[in-house]
Amino acid sequence: MVSRTAAARRYMRRFVPTMIGYVVLVIGTSLAVSRFHPAGGALVALSILPALPILGMLLVIGLYVREETDEYLRQRLVTAMLFGIGVVLAAATVLGFLQIYRVLGQIDVFWAFPLWCASWGLAQCVLAWRDRAGDAA
């Protein structure tokens, strides 16, 4: 979020605690699994625990898109997010076929969200750069 609209400030206030929760749960879960070697339902519950803040992040992002009143910034954000979705789907399709024909082994689907975030961020940077280039023109 380049501009600090009221919605962007609310986004940051929600984003920071959610990400802190994610880091705490990732470290906590990793320590708990390595120390207690849980199995069955306990392992399932522990495995899902660090995913909850990521689901929370999707909610935080959705709230921002809904609350952002600046239509141009919202459109720019959604465009960048769609680019990210495109990258994830393209990667999933290509890697999926490589797996079908046994060219590739297992790839953790965990990477889908980070890939989406990275692609989205890259697209945001390009769009922001285009805006700055427009300023200079």
d(CA 13, CA 69): 17
Cβ closest to other proteins, residue 100 vs residue 137: 137
Nearest 5°: CA angle at 70, between 66 and 72? 105
CA dihedral 83, 11, 131, 121 (to 10 degrees): -40
- Specify the residue, 7 or 54, whose C-beta has the smaller distance to other proteins: 7
First to last CA, the chain: 23
For the four alpha carbons of 67, 71, 76 and 78, in that order, the dihedral sign comes to positive
Start-end of H helices in 37-70? 40-48, 51-67
Residue from 36, 72, 97, 110 binding other proteins (CB under 8 A): 72
Scan residues 51-70 and list those touching other proteins (CB under 8 A). 69-70
Q: Which H or E run includes 34? A: helix 6-36
CB of 137 to other proteins, least distance (A): 7
Complex with other proteins: residue 6 or 31, whichever CB lies closer: 6
Among 23, 28, 47, 75, binds other proteins (CB under 8 A): 75
Single residue of 32, 43, 51, 73 touching other proteins by CB under 8 A: 73
Judged by CB under 8 A, how many residues of this single chain contact other proteins?
15
Give the nearest distance from C-beta 69 to other proteins in angstroms.
Answer: 8
Residue with smaller CB distance to other proteins, 41 or 134: 134
Report the C-alpha gap between 17 and 53 in whole angstroms: 9
Q: What are the residues binding other proteins (CB under 8 A)?
A: 2-3, 5, 69-73, 75-76, 130-131, 134-135, 137
